[in-house]
DNA sequence: TGTTGGTTCTTACTATTAGTGAGTATAGGG
DNA sequence: CCCTATACTCACTAATAGTAAGAACCAACA
């Protein structure tokens, strides 16, 4: 909270998603990946275990859930706490950064769910 | 426009993204696809031609841009107007539904760009 | 009069990623 | 003693993303 050495140089590094080489692209991809969105949404309701997330999120495989969680953890959006017990127990929760991220994706997700009927009307019905 | 047979049954079909088979999953994937996000963001500033979008969005190939635009059009989020001239000219813009969708993804995108420095600090620097 | 460039795509091919099914270690319950 | 549950990983296949080239057409330029 006190005086920091280089507050400006840090502040100036805002990402630019339009630039192909900007690392923000990677963050975008993990936050907006199919399973990433659903994990963030699920963790909005509090801490969950691996298997709870798996049951809650219809259609995730264990492999994809595991990789999605690892990626979100690498970006500091979720916190992983593993208890060395048998059978294994691991708890996942949102970090403060993750709480903000989850608000955005959940807002979008909610909009999709609400507007789904209208969106589907624009789609040509398949033969 | 007159009295419709089943207005309630349509209204009641709110999507559920947690369900694997719900069509909202497909909408989520097109809205949150890497190029989908960047297209929606770009079109927030108004109508653009294909090649303008291609130049603006760093790293898109023509194939991916074309497919992304088609998918967003299928979901009623963008409008495509092709003029039968030579050389070809096509204009893309947001539909009212697309304007709302774009607001959500742009909000998220902005958050990512602003918080990128903090997010990157959580990442282990690579060897 | 070639030839180059610009436009909006599509097609064929390759690389990357997603998804599937099985395996692992351990303990508690029937 | 075998089955289930947990949180994974590994080997494999299917799907998707990315690359490079071409197509159709004309305008401008040398």
Between B11 and A67, name the one with better pLDDT.
A67
Selecting from B23, B28, B112 the residue whose C-beta is nearest the C-beta of A17 gives B112
Task: Please report the pLDDT score of residue A126 as a whole number.
Answer: 42
Q: Is A13 an interface residue toward B (CB < 8 Å)?
A: yes
Q: How far apart are CA B7 and CA B1, in angstroms?
A: 12
Are A32 and A24 in contact by the 8 Å Cβ rule? The answer is no
Binning pLDDT at 50, 70 and 90, where does residue A86 land? Answer: confident
C-alpha to C-alpha distance for B123 and A66, rounded to whole angstroms:
18
| Mean pLDDT along residues B21-45 | 96
Mean pLDDT of A107-127: 83
**pLDDT surpasses 50 at B61:** yes
**Taking residues A73-86, what's their average pLDDT?**
94
Q: Which member of B10, B33, B117 has the closest CB to residue A117?
A: B10
CA-to-C1' span, B74 to D22 (A): 27
pLDDT in tens, A59-68: 999 999 999 9
Residues 8-47 (A) near nucleic chain D, CB < 7 A: none
Q: Which residue has the tokens 């995730």?
A: A60
- Taking CB atoms and an 8 Å limit, are A108 and B109 in contact across chains? no
User: How close B22 comes to chain A (CA, Å)?
Assistant: 10
Output the pLDDT for position B26: 95
Contacts of B98-101 spanning 24+ positions with Cβ under 8 A:
B98/B40, B98/B43, B98/B72, B99/B44, B100/A111, B100/A115, B101/A111, B101/B31, B101/B40, B101/B77
What's the whole-number mean pLDDT along residues B99-109? 97
- For residues A4 and B108, the model is more confident at B108
* Average pLDDT of the segment spanning B45-64: 96
Mean pLDDT, rounded, for B53-72: 96
Confidence of residue B122 (pLDDT cuts 50, 70, 90): confident
pLDDT at position A125 is 45
Neighbours of A36 (CB within 10 A): 22
- Does the nearest atom of strand C lie within 7 Å of B90's Cβ? yes
pLDDT, tens digit, 9 for 90 and up, residues A20-58: 999 999 999 999 999 999 999 999 999 999 999 999 999
Q: Given this model, what pLDDT does residue B13 score?
A: 83
Between chains, do A112 and B17 touch, taking CB under 8 Å as contact? yes
Instruction: Report d(CA B56, CA B53) in Å as an integer.
Output: 5
């Amino acid at each position: 909270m006190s005086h920091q050495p280089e507050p400006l140089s840090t502040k100036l590094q805002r990402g630019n998603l339009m630039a192909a080489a900007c690392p923000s692209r990677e963050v975008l991809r993990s936050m907006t990946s199919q399973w990433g969105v659903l994990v963030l949404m699920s963790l909005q309701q509090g801490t969950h275990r691996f298997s709870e997330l798996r049951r809650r999120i219809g259609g995730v495989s264990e492999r994809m859930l595991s990789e999605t969680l690892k990626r979100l953890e690498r970006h500091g959006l979720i916190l992983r706490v593993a208890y060395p017990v048998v059978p294994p127990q691991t708890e996942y929760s949102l970090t403060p950064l993750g709480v903000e991220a989850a608000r955005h994706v959940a807002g979008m997700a909610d909009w999709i769910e609400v507007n789904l009927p209208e969106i589907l009307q624009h789609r040509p019905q398949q033969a």
